[in-house]
Amino acid sequence: MDLDELVFHPWVAQGPRKVPTFVGGSGSYVIDADGRRYLDFSSQLVFTNLGHQHPRIVAAIKQQADRLCTLAPAHASDIRGKAAQLIVEVAPEGLGHVLFTTGGTEAIEHAVRMARLHNGRPKVLAAYRSYHGSTTTSIHLTGDPRRWANDTGAAGAVHFFGPFLYRSVFGSGTPEEECERALAHLEQVILLEGPSTISALVLESVIGSSGVIVPPAGYLRGVRDLCTRHDIVYIADEVLIGFGRTGAWFGVDHEGVSPDLLVFAKGVNSGYVPLGGVLIGNPIFETFTKRPYPAGMTYSGHPLACAAAVGAIGAMHDEGTVAAAARLGTEILGPGLTELAEQHPCVGDVRGIGGLWTVELVRDRLNKEPLVPVGATGEANAPMTAFARGCIDRNLVPLVLGNRIHVAPPLNLSDADASTGLVILDEALSAADKYMA
Ligand SMILES: Cc1ncc(COP(=O)(O)O)c(C=O)c1O
């Protein structure tokens, strides 16, 4: 019996699957049960920022396992404190405390709860093209179609359009226009919803799994100003992009902006042991010096997860990972993927930053009709399935989402592996070209 059949898999219909079984990994590669090595161009779900089996992270976990595997959150822990210190040191200005969670969605839940307890207002604004997690509050804040099947209408979630020049809802022709119009739209939403009813605004600083959308210059600054003007808590969701993915420690760093709360997970320890958290600014921290924070988790600040964070952040400093991610974008992936777009008629757009890119596939470059419709499965999804199969057959793990190929390798990917990966993407894209209108 295939033991994988005993596992209930998230996001998909259950049933037998034809996928490799991975048993090992090394750097940018995962290794299957037959010893076949696959280049990981997904960083799994964009979290192995330092690749697989990084010796520094593995050693940190082992060392902590030998000392003290676990400890309740109420006790002081040296390794938890060290992890908090390293996180605060690289965080945007003014974020001086950390609530640890076991992942991203839990951290979003807590950030929103903190905001509501802080100002007593009910509503939270979030962008349509967004993903914030799959527990109750975070899936309702999620703007993209992953929300639909869960849409029982959590009170208070209000969606707005963020900037997205390729498919502009504002009819813009330039990034400057898109920025100005998206901010004017957001201000209208705030004014019409009633500023005094809005507790928080949650925004991915670069939209990740809902499209890899880098905001135009000035947008995050504008959001910060609107939140300040209307006393709205600005929550930056940096779960997917925090800790170097965009070529900066955090996405907000590209604009020198400090949110009131910043949510992280994934890259904080490359996902070796589940960890997420909320970085908390002083005004909200102050709220909870006067009264208890009415929530907690058994595994908040788990020592093994914190040890992995200490190992990972230390390695990122010593190995220059953030600068390497920036270079990966400007010198390797950006030019390489743009060249692919020129050769493949099914590519409608290439966009990204640092170590996070997407290749958006369309039926027709002029009308930009997606190559597969939203939520496509079976025959309707054949072009994307053909592309993914083409990658796996050539020993590359891709990340395919709807009509998009997300390119998010480990940030310490070697130039040679990057070239290998781009050649495989090129070959696999030929399979998708065949489905053009
Ligand atoms: C931007 C963003 N926020 C929140 C989450 C939820 O994180 P988790 O899957 O760790 O719960 C994700 C997950 O991919 C994400 O990309």
Give residue 162 CA to ligand 1 midpoint distance, Å. Answer: 18
Does the pLDDT value for residue 2 go beyond 90?
no
Distance CA(61)–CA(303), nearest Å, equals 9
Give residue 130 CA to ligand 1 midpoint distance, Å. Answer: 10
Distance CA(69)–CA(14), nearest Å, equals 34
Distance CA(128)–CA(145), nearest Å, equals 9
Q: Ligand 1: which residue has its CA nearest to atom 5?
A: 133
Q: Ligand 1: which residue has its CA nearest to atom 3?
A: 132
| Cα of 282 vs its chain's centroid, Å | 25
**How much is the average pLDDT of 336-358?**
97
Give residue 296 CA to ligand 1 midpoint distance, Å. Answer: 19
Confidence at residue 437, expressed as pLDDT on a 0 to 100 scale: 59
Does the pLDDT value for residue 257 go beyond 80?
yes
**CA angle (431 as vertex; 46, 416 as ends), nearest 5:** 50
Give residue 44 CA to ligand 1 midpoint distance, Å. Answer: 13
Q: Name the strand (E) or helix (H) holding 82.
A: helix 78-90
Residues belonging to the chain: 437
Confidence at residue 1, expressed as pLDDT on a 0 to 100 scale: 80
Distance CA(274)–CA(100), nearest Å, equals 10
Going by C-alpha positions, the residue among 94, 251, 256 that lies closest to residue 162 is: 251
Nearby residues of 79 by Cβ (< 8 Å), 6 or more positions away: 64, 303, 306, 307, 310
**How much is the average pLDDT of 355-382?**
94
Distance CA(253)–CA(93), nearest Å, equals 10
Give residue 208 CA to ligand 1 midpoint distance, Å. Answer: 9
Whether pTM > 0.85 for this model: the answer is yes
* Nearest atom (ligand 1) to Cα of 106: 11
Confidence at residue 206, expressed as pLDDT on a 0 to 100 scale: 98
**CA angle (287 as vertex; 300, 236 as ends), nearest 5:** 60
**How much is the average pLDDT of 244-268?**
98
* Nearest atom (ligand 1) to Cα of 108: 4
* Nearest atom (ligand 1) to Cα of 135: 11
Least confident range of 23-32, 142-151, 407-416: 142-151
* Nearest atom (ligand 1) to Cα of 103: 10
Confidence at residue 182, expressed as pLDDT on a 0 to 100 scale: 98
Give residue 343 CA to ligand 1 midpoint distance, Å. Answer: 33
Residue 16 — pLDDT band, cuts 50, 70, 90?
Answer: confident
Distance CA(170)–CA(173), nearest Å, equals 9
Q: Ligand 1: which residue has its CA nearest to atom 16?
A: 240
Q: Ligand 1: which residue has its CA nearest to atom 7?
A: 104
Give residue 276 CA to ligand 1 midpoint distance, Å. Answer: 9
Give residue 106 CA to ligand 1 midpoint distance, Å. Answer: 9
For 370, the 3-state DSSP assignment is strand
Long-range contacts from 75-80, C-beta under 8 angstroms, 24+ separation: 77/301, 77/303, 77/306, 79/303, 79/306, 79/307, 79/310, 80/301, 80/303, 80/306
Q: Which residues line ligand 1 (CB under 6 A)?
A: 45, 103-105, 108, 131-133, 204, 208-209, 237, 239-240, 265, 276
pLDDT tens digits, residue range 203-243?
A: 999 999 999 999 999 999 999 999 999 999 999 999 999 99
DSSP string, 38-73: EEESSHHHHT-TT-BT-HHHHHHHHHHHHH-S---T
Does the pLDDT value for residue 303 go beyond 80?
yes
Question: Ligand 1 pocket: which of 100, 101, 105, 262 to mutate (most atoms <8 Å of CB)?
Answer: 105
Higher-pLDDT residue of 282 and 151 is: 282
